Amino acid sequence: DAKTTQPPSMDCAEGRAANLPCNHSTISGNEYVYWYRQIHSQGPQYIIHGLKNNETNEMASLIITEDRKSSTLILPHATLRDTAVYYCIVRGNTGKLIFGQGTTLQVKP
């Protein structure tokens, strides 16, 4: 499974969009991009996943570049409750999730 690179930390103002980048330059054709987040050392929570098309659900949007070497998770209107560690994971057909250190997003009032 491919590795990912994320910035260690980011800040975002409450009510604004939070854009979290992820590089996965070694991704292969059958590997999906997943995003999870972890709040206060709780169990990780699934956010969204995608293969090559952009995806949107009630929580977030996922933008994947055409070459699939990078992606961006967008939280359209960040709230204080979105403060968490966000993990970008590339997952293949083994079903295993390989976590990196993630991005700590701090939403500020």
Partner 1 sequence: NAGVTQTPKFQVLKTGQSMTLQCAQDMNHNSMYWYRQDPGMGLRLIYYSASEGTTDKGEVPNGYNVSRLNKREFSLRLESAAPSQTSVYFCASIRTLAGGPSYNEQFFGPGTRLTVL
CA distance 52 to 7: 22
Site for partner 1 in 75-94 (CB under 8 A): 87, 91, 93-94
Contact range with partner 1 by CB under 8 A, out of 11-19, 21-29, 43-51, 76-84: 43-51
Contact in structure between 101 and 5 (CB atoms under 8 Å):
no
- Closer residue to partner 1, CB minimum distance, 93 or 109: 93
- Closer residue to partner 1, CB minimum distance, 65 or 101: 101
Phi and psi dihedrals of 6, rounded to 5?
Answer: -130, 150
- How many other C-beta atoms are found inside a 10 Å radius of the C-beta of residue 53? 8
Judged by CB under 8 A, which of 27, 102, 105, 107 binds partner 1? 102
32 binds partner 1 (CB under 8 A): yes
Judged by CB under 8 A, which of 45, 54, 65, 79 binds partner 1? 45
Judged by CB under 8 A, which of 43, 53, 66, 109 binds partner 1? 43
Buried b (16+ CB within 10 A) or exposed e, 3-29: ebebeeebebeeeeebebebbbeebee
